[in-house]
Amino acid sequence: MSPLVTAKDLVRVYRSKSGPLSKPQELRAVGGVSFSIDAGRTLAIVGESGCGKSTLARLITLIEKPDAGTLSLDGADALDPANAGTLRRTVQLVFQNPYGSLNPRKTVGQILEEPLIINTSLRKAERQVQALAMMQRVGLGPEHARRYPHMFSGGQRQRIAIARALMLQPKLLIADEPVSALDVSVQAQVLNLLLDLQQQFGLAYMFISHDLAVVQYLAHDVLVMYLGLAVEHGPKDLIFGKPLHPYTQALLASTPALGGMRHPHKMAKGEVPSPLDVPKGCVFATRCPHVTDLCRAERPPLRPVGGRLVACHYAERFLDEPAQVVSSIPAAQSPRPQPSP
């Protein structure tokens, strides 16, 4: 069976307008990223702010068109204008902030029916039946259909946003930091809801997050990005247990929740370079504790090492290091809470 999503060498460049005293500049937000996602699987995209995660999400949802590369959704060419209308129903997006992503002037029922009004020819009664059924699936009762978003908590609003994204029965759900705006006490409930929905509908998830503890709990595979490029990509257990790229090592070392131990010798140095002035060689060369002249002069390709893909000239040297002991996050340790209305 072919993957549900196949992206190859996607590139997105933003160009600034030139002024009378300045030259136009190019910002390479996504610099040639490739990956695939199977039905029922979750690919997590991780990295610091500005690494290109959200831009990549806009490319996959067809909100923006890549400047280069190919994209296949559900076996069809997603970049062919003839397929765009149909494929937009195949992939839906859940935004980060449930307080800003819902129309405050519409009731929950109206919010959930809106995608059906735009994309189907269903009658009003049929739309209402489907909206009420979806509300039940995300843990909301029929009495909530006539209420407005401001009458709900943050966790409940994100349930509404998830329900809206599922109204058109998509095959791929892109979740852009879906729990970062929520209280820690309800994050686990939303994550467990996503897991349950994935099992019920066979959904594929592209999960964007800077929270590695959440990624550890939810993802099957992980793609680590830095300055628009993929630096490590592979199964979650391999990347969390024995990261081979120095940037991935730095991310894990700076996250106390993942084991509680820091590794000062693995921490990244300095600041992220400007995306308008990316280093010539390895993009991580200016911050890497293992940098050499080869790193500064030649950009390493993304190549197979140790069961995953790594963009590092010296990835093999880290294969002999002891595997990291990664503790579970509280969401994984606690019983799966039942959705509350």
**What interhelical angle do 108-119 and 124-137 show, nearest 10?**
120
pTM of the model: 0.89
The first and second tokens of residue 38, run together, are 């199977």
pLDDT at 182: 83
d(CA 304, CA 168) in angstroms, rounded, equals: 38
d(CA 324, CA 264) in angstroms, rounded, equals: 14
User: 217 pLDDT exceeds 70?
Assistant: yes
Task: Over range 124-147, report the average pLDDT.
Answer: 95
CA distances from 16 to 22, 29, 228, 240, 261 (A): 10, 13, 17, 38, 43
- Asked whether the beta carbons of 87 and 76 are under 8 A apart, the reply is yes
pLDDT in tens, 299-324: 999 999 999 999 999 999 998 877 65
The CA-CA-CA angle for residues 227, 232, 236, to 5°, reads: 125
pLDDT at 324: 59
SS3 of 50-76: the string is CCCHHHHHHHHCCCCCCCEEEEEECCE
What is the pLDDT confidence band of residue 19, given thresholds at 50, 70 and 90?
A: low
What is the pLDDT confidence band of residue 198, given thresholds at 50, 70 and 90?
A: very high
Burial 208-222 (b: 16+ CB within 10 A, else e): bbbbbbbbbbbbbbb
Concatenating the DSSP letter of every residue in 11-40 gives EEEEEPPP-TTS---EEEEEEEEEEEE-TT
User: 4 pLDDT exceeds 90?
Assistant: yes
The CA-CA-CA angle for residues 238, 328, 192, to 5°, reads: 100
The CA-CA-CA angle for residues 121, 126, 132, to 5°, reads: 130
Quote the mean pLDDT of the chain. Answer: 88
Nearest to 280 by CA among 300, 302, 250: 300
Starting at the edge strand found earlier in the chain, the sheet holding 229-235 runs 91-94, 172-176, 204-209, 42-46, 221-226, 229-235, 308-310, 303-305
- Asked whether the beta carbons of 287 and 272 are under 8 A apart, the reply is yes
pLDDT in tens, 53-101: 999 999 999 999 999 999 999 999 999 999 888 888 899 999 888 888 8
Q: Which of 37-41, 93-97, 128-132, 252-256 has the lowest mean pLDDT?
A: 252-256
- Kindly state the DSSP code that residue 208 receives in the 8-state scheme: E
